Amino acid sequence: VVAAGSGTRFGGPKQYTELGGRRLVDWALDAARRACDGVVLVAPPDRPDHDPAADHTVPGGATRSASVRCGLEAVPADAPVVVVHDAARPLAPPELFDAVIEAVEAGADGAVPGVLVADTLRRVEGGVLDRDGVVAVQTPQAFRADALRRAHEGDPDATDDATLVEAAGGRVVVVEGDRRNLKVTDPTDLELVRALLP
Ligand code: CTP
Ligand code: MG
Q: Quick one: which ligand is closest to 139's CA? A: 1
Tens of pLDDT, residue by residue over 158-180, are 999 999 999 999 999 999 999 99
In this model, does residue 191 exceed pLDDT 90?
Answer: yes
SS3 142: strand
> Which residues line the pocket of ligand 1, CB cutoff 6 A?
2-10, 15, 42, 60-64, 67, 86-88, 183, 185
Mean of pLDDT over the chain? 97
Instruction: Please state, for a pLDDT cut of 90, what percent of the chain lies above it.
Output: 99
pLDDT at 61: 98
Looking at residues 82-102, what average pLDDT do you find? Answer: 98
**Is residue 120 predicted with pLDDT exceeding 90?**
yes
- Share of residues in the chain with pLDDT > 70 (%): 100
Q: Identify the pLDDT of residue 48.
A: 86
pLDDT tens sequence across 28-76? 999 999 999 999 999 999 998 999 999 999 999 999 999 999 999 999 9
Sign of the torsion angle spanned by Cα atoms 29, 55, 35, 82: positive
Which ligand is nearest to the Cα of residue 10, counting in written order? 1
pLDDT at 192: 98
DSSP secondary structure code for residue 139 in this structure? S
The model's pLDDT over 138-153, given as tens digits with 9 standing for 90+, comes to 999 999 999 999 999 9
Q: Compute, in angstroms, the gap from residue 107 CA to the centroid of ligand 2.
A: 31
Contacts of 99 (CB under 8 A, 6+ apart): 111, 113, 175, 176
95 CA distance to ligand 2 middle (Å): 26
Count Cα neighbours of 178 within 13 Å in the Cβ-side half-sphere: 21
pLDDT of residue 194: 98
Residue 158 confidence (pLDDT) = 98
